[in-house]
Each structure stands twice: as C-alpha cells, then as structure tokens.
Structure 1
C-alpha cells in the first residue's frame, strides 16, 4: 500500500553525551534524557519521534543507529546533550544510511548570572556540535544544521521542513516505479540510466506486462467495481453521457492497476498510450485511474516517464497532494504558463469553489474508445513546480520554480485538468533559465511554496539544485 501523504515522518533522536560527567554530576544522564523527551514533545505535531537512551559511548551510538536503520526510520536528529567527543560517533554517523540533521540546541535559551558549573555542563552542547559536525564534514556525509531555541516556532518549522525532506529522500531510496509496457519512442528528456537512478537516488524500475493488467481486470469482482463507481458519484459531478460500460471498464482498470502496484511493491507508476493502444486488448486509456491514484498518494507520469513518476511520488512525501502536469503554452499578457496534460491530474489540487467533473471525453490518442476523464481547474494561490533532470552518469539536477496559480479564465474546450502558473521570476526569465538548465517537460506541481524543501532534498540526496 502506498504511503499516504498525511503520514508524519518517523524520525529517530540520537542524544549524545559521555560517561565523564556522571561522576561529576550524578543524575545528569537522566536529567538530559528528560530534556530530550521535552524536545520530542515540542516536535510531536511535526514528526513521530523515536527515542533511545542517551549515547554515552561509541558502542551506544552504533547500537542506536543500527536500531534506527533497522526500523526503517526516515531520518535521525542528532542532539548534543553535553559535549561528546566526535570519534565516538564517527563511524555511526559516517556510515549512516538515512538522512541526518544536527540540532544545535541547548536546554536553556539564555545565559543567566545564576548559572553554576552544572548549568554550564547541561548547556555546553555547542562545542560538541562543532566536533561532531567536523567529523561528518570530513566523512563527506550530507547533513542539515538547525541552530535555534528548541522551544521556538522557528525550531519546529525548520525541523518540519528537514523531516519532510528526509522522508522524501528515504522514500526515494525504497521506491519501486512500475512501468506498464514501454516508454514513448523518441522522448529524450524522460530517458534515464536505470543503474544510475537506483545508485544515486534509489528508485528501481519494474516493468509490468500489459497482459498482466488485462488478466487482472478480468478478475475484478463486481463489489469492488460498484464501490469505486459509487465513490466517484459522491465526489464528482458525473457526465450523464458516460455509459455504464465506460464507467465499469474504467473502474476495472483502476482497480487492476492498484492491485498490480501493490503486488509488485510499486508506489509510483507510468503508462504510455501507445503501449496500451497497440496491445489490442484494451478499450480505453486509464485517464481517470491516474487522477484517482495520484489522489491516493501514488506517483504517476505519462508516456513511460520513470523520473517524473518518481518525482511526483517525492512531491507527495515532501508537501502532499502532488500533481503531474506539463507546460502547454505561454500567456504573455498575464506573464503565466498554461499547465495541463492529456487528462491525468491530482484532483486534490482542484479549486474548492467548483465541482470536479468526471466527463465523457473524446480522445484520438492511442486509437481507443473515449476514456472517462477528470476535469478541474487548479486552486489559485502559491505553487511550486519541479523537474528531475537526468544529465548522464551519476549527474542529476532538480530544476524548481516558485510562483502562483492565477485566478484565471475558463477554457471550456480543454477537457482535462488545467491552470495558469505565473513564475515569481516571470515567464521570460523563468523559461530562459529553465531551458538552459535542461528542465524537462513533465513536472510535479505542489500548492504552496516549497523551493526550500526541494533544496534540502537535493542536499540530502547529493544532487544539484537549480531554482529559476
């Protein structure tokens, strides 16, 4: 089952100190453990925090990190509870397989005239952070640093942004992308070296035969089909021209796709219209299925575009409700770009003041019958688009643009999801930079401004970030 976007990241807390202070200040380990719990409580709405006993030795640190990795956590927040010599954590952090952040915090936010040597010891984590960070820099380990008052909203916000980026990177490393059939012939910006993709970022490509989809459709039970149709009746304004046959066939395709994704352990997928059209056994393309499955948290891209499908899945993990789209045309009078695709789009980004429609939609592409298609306009407001660029070998680049979805005109002839995106840098500057950076034509869009989060993803994943 795909990970739902609303799930909180699971973050381990590695509290570091040393045995030296136990003789000097009896009870200090218990005291600092309680402080760690208060920090975790402060972050309870941001992430699911997993605590362990303070790591006071090399054996402790390596045991805790092994536990966190074994439990499949999304990241580790390193907290200096006192000064701790970095050589005790050098291997544990230098060989970390999950993203790291160093929280440069201390129990008391201010130095006080009432402080004694005990208070100095409780609050001396800053020079332990320096020693530990130095070890991670020497090891070439990417990590985030968060220097804040741990009781402040800013600390929560920064940990929230890092934790979602960590979840994104960890989810990528576990991801399997299903591709039904084959990629679109001649579409170069979607091509990727599969070995480099899994080596650098983690997603694995898994081909699923169209024949398996056809057989699984035939095995769909009536109850599941009628249940999906009823759910669509409740959510969408359904076109009266859609026949029972068209809706049932679409429902079987969606159910079969999801069952196969679960069976093969795939949380993202791509279909190509020619691969299904030329197969000869399918009546229509799974347009509405793609929209519904994106709304359920799956990554998706059209035309067999594995990098874009993986990026849409990453968008779910980073910001929630990721939407697959592409740049269709420029509108210079409004300094915006018309965003759409053939008919696939996450209806969770639809305008809240208009119904989402399920329409009968003539479509010649693929040479098949009319596919039921979800149609909506995108919610106006802040938005971010991103493109994963494969530059050859182990070189990957993420091209990102922030801007806004305009409260723009109706385009009644467009029988697919659409909206107009105005880049913050303007269409001319944005597109000049986008094209120079090799930005692809298949994109992920999230509502809200998320460039800072994408930048963190790139830093943690070790790939290039380019904002345009």
Structure 2
C-alpha cells in the first residue's frame, strides 16, 4: 500500500506456475476432434491465474509418460514455483506419476470442469468435457500412496473462489521456498534469557536450510565510513517524501547513516532477513529502527532481540504476500475484547493506515544516541496473525488466527507509537489461553488479509504442524 506523496514499494514476488493439462490418448483414437474442444477452457484457466498476478508457463496437453516428462523438464528449465495440474478428462495416473513424483516442484491439483451445471437435463455429449474429476481422484490416490505432497482446490472457475484459492496456495509455495532458503543476519547476540524463539543455528539449518550469519556491531565500521554524504542527503529527502518528519535533523542524519551502513552490510552477506538486539546499539551505531522498517518494505524480514526464526518467517511472508510486518502481542483489552500489538520502533510502513510520522525515540538502554523511528497504525480490516513456535524434538508449529484490525486511536500521545488493536475470533481470554497452550512465542508476524488456507499449505510444505485459533 502507498500513501499520497510517497514511493514505498510493496514487494511480493510474482509467482510463476507450470500449467499441465492432462488427457488420455484413447480419446485421440476414438474421438479425435474432442481435444480441440478444450482449447478455450485451458486458455480461460491461464487467463484467470494471470488475473490473480500468477505467471503461467503452459505445456502442451499431456497423455503419456514421454509427454509428461517433457512438460516437467520445461517447467524445471523455466524455474516455475509450482506445477498446476488440470484434468481435461480422465487421465491414467501411472502415465504422470514418474514425472510428478521425481520433480521437486510443489504440486497443486486444480479440480474443475468446464460446465457449471451437470443436472438431470444435461446433453449426453457434455460428459466428454466434464468428467476430469475421477482422473483427479486416480492421481491423488496414487500420489498419496507414494508419499508425494500435493495440495488441491476444487470448484467451478466462474462460480466459486477456486482460482483465488489456488493463487493463495501458490503464494504459500513461494513463502515456503523463501523461508526454507532464508539467510538471516543477526547483529549482536540474542537477548539474554529470552528463550522462547531461540533455536540453535544448526537446528534451523537441518530443519529448514536456514543460514544464520552472526555479526558484531564493530563489523559495520567500514560500512559506516564508506557511506557518502550525498547519499545520506538523498535518503533524507526520500524520507521527507515518505514520512511526516518531526525530529531533529542531526538525529535523522545519524539514523540514516547507520541505516545505510546496515543496508550495505546486509547486501555484503546476501541476507534476506535481519535481527538486531537493541542492546548492541552504540554511540556510533544508533538502533536502526528506521532502516529495519524500510527494509521490511523492500522485502527484508525482521524480528527484534536476535530472533532469527521470526525474522525468516516475516521475510518469507513479505516476499510472498506483500503486506506483512513483525509484531508482538503486548496488552489485552479485556473490556473491548481486543489485543494491542506493538513493538519498540519497528513496523513495515507498507501496512500503515496513513502516512507514518518520523520521530525521535527516547533510548535509555545503552549509550547510543536517541534514534529515529516511524510511528503509525496498521490499517483497519481483516488480517492474519501468525506465530512460529519451536516444539519438542526440534519440530515446529505454526499458529494462526484471523483477526480484525480495528480503527486507530484518537489519542495524540498514543499516535507516537507503533500500534494496532486487533479483535480475535474468540474472546480474548480464550485466545490467550489457547495461544499459550499451543506454545506460541511472544514474537509474531501480522499479514494483511485473510490467509488461513494459504498458511496451512505453507506449513505443510515446510513440514510444520499447523493450528488455527478460531
């Protein structure tokens, strides 16, 4: 989301899928003209996926093993994010199984047919164009037997949300791929004694392929020295367009300098997520609240206090869904049946309800100068709160709940904070009991929009347990 006068990007990666139309060669022998009747249907599916901002790479219609192998090779060459199967008619599963079982690409079965109505007055000739569902059943059964993971959505193209749901699951595949290829930079040690989110780096690597790069603040010194004064001035001008600037110029400048050095350091380490322990801030490196917030808008994941696990999750969600941010459940509003979400000074400005203010933060925790930070509310509407909790035996659980972000406060003093009031789908007491019974940590991600089905697919793809509070 952007606001008048700003240029803050929203950065979801556009997914691309391989569309795999499936058919049976027997029909080419007994009814050769029937194949041509599916051309418009295939085109319709592709166009509807494109309308959901999903790129489509099409194979030809596949009937036999060699054709499926050729299609799989094409999709792998094109580096698509998933394969979407489309049963035009019955298609023998053993023809497709070798290719679909051997590729590492995620698999989504689109279970749909051409006609909306197939009632008691249907013309018999329409059977040819509407019986693909038992081909889906054949293939799904065989995939399940062979332990090949797949997702499935069913419904009519025009009279259901099946394509929108398919797009959500495709984005879940993107999120899982982004998460499982995260490279997280941690500046400073994790906050001592804060154990809920802590997972050893070797466990994150073995469980998800996540790489953790540990660094000290002193390693940023050459990057601080390399930042040009002209670049600092340009960044300050950009901030003046993006934010309502209400802080001293020297504070702004020092924070921009630290932020640009951190940006260079992130680039050097090829990181796509970041965690900074605020206790690592120094006289020459103020806590980079401003940069980590702007970084989230560019797709760099973030979580506070050395929490690399949640940082990787937030980054994956931003790059897959666009509008997501790091957050924390701070206070219960028992009377109003709401939860107050906040953090010290970090929020993705892409989720802001209005143009954020750029302010100076009182920072008594170290000898670092007071840093710049942005203050804003999350815009009202549906959202999804998600938490990744470590569990026994180096397993993980994704806890999610649909919430409604409420309208912002009218109090001017509260408007100087990072904030959101959200209403959960159950009474606050029940939510909090269930959340902690499931082992939820105190660091979370908030994703704008309703994504429960998509997050369930994300969890399955990443090998996590998934629980919904509803």
What's the TM-score once normalised by structure 1's chain length?
0.90
Name the CA distance, whole Å, in 2 between partners of 1:200 and 1:19.
42
**1:386–1:269 distance in 2 versus 1, CA, 3 Å:** same
Shift of 1:417: 0.7
Name the CA distance, whole Å, in 2 between partners of 1:452 and 1:361.
38
For residues 229-240 of structure 1, the aligned pairs below 5 Å read 229-239=236-246
Name the CA distance, whole Å, in 2 between partners of 1:264 and 1:66.
33
**1:444–1:86 distance in 2 versus 1, CA, 3 Å:** same
Deviates further, 152-161 or 296-305: 152-161
Deviates further, 301-310 or 133-142: 133-142
Name the CA distance, whole Å, in 2 between partners of 1:292 and 1:408.
22
Structure 1 stretches of 5 or more lacking a match?
A: none
Name the CA distance, whole Å, in 2 between partners of 1:98 and 1:45.
22
Name the CA distance, whole Å, in 2 between partners of 1:105 and 1:331.
45
Contact 1:344/1:416, CA 8 A, preserved across alignment? no
Shift of 1:28: 4.6
Shift of 1:348: 2.1
Contact 1:358/1:373, CA 8 A, preserved across alignment? yes
Name the CA distance, whole Å, in 2 between partners of 1:275 and 1:67.
49
Shift of 1:333: 1.9
Name the CA distance, whole Å, in 2 between partners of 1:253 and 1:28.
65
Give the SS at the match of 1:334: coil
1:249 corresponds to which residue?
254
**1:147–1:395 distance in 2 versus 1, CA, 3 Å:** same
Name the CA distance, whole Å, in 2 between partners of 1:440 and 1:109.
46
Name the CA distance, whole Å, in 1 between partners of 2:173 and 2:373.
34
2:4 corresponds to which residue?
none
2:290 corresponds to which residue?
288
Name the CA distance, whole Å, in 1 between partners of 2:205 and 2:51.
32
Q: Deviations over 1:257-303 (max 9, x none)?
A: 233333333221111123344xxx73311011111111222211111
1:110 corresponds to which residue?
117
Name the CA distance, whole Å, in 1 between partners of 2:262 and 2:323.
20
2:464 corresponds to which residue?
463
Q: Deviations over 1:155-207 (max 9, x none)?
A: 22222222221221222233222222332222111211434434444433233
2:268 corresponds to which residue?
263
Structure 2 stretches of 5 or more lacking a match?
A: 1-8
Name the CA distance, whole Å, in 1 between partners of 2:205 and 2:21.
32
Name the CA distance, whole Å, in 2 between partners of 1:296 and 1:332.
36
Contact 1:373/1:416, CA 8 A, preserved across alignment? no
RMSD of aligned alpha carbons: 2.4
What's the TM-score once normalised by structure 2's chain length?
0.90
**1:350–1:286 distance in 2 versus 1, CA, 3 Å:** same
Deviates further, 48-57 or 313-322: 313-322
For residues 48-447 of structure 1, the aligned pairs below 5 Å read 48-111=55-118, 113-116=122-125, 119-239=126-246, 241-244=247-250, 246-277=251-282, 282-352=284-354, 355-409=355-409, 410=411, 412=413, 415-447=416-448
**1:176–1:356 distance in 2 versus 1, CA, 3 Å:** same
Aligned length: 457
Q: Deviations over 1:349-376 (max 9, x none)?
A: 2223xx4111122111233110011111
Return structure 1 stretches of 4+ with deviation > 4 angstroms.
Answer: 27-31
Contact 1:242/1:372, CA 8 A, preserved across alignment? no
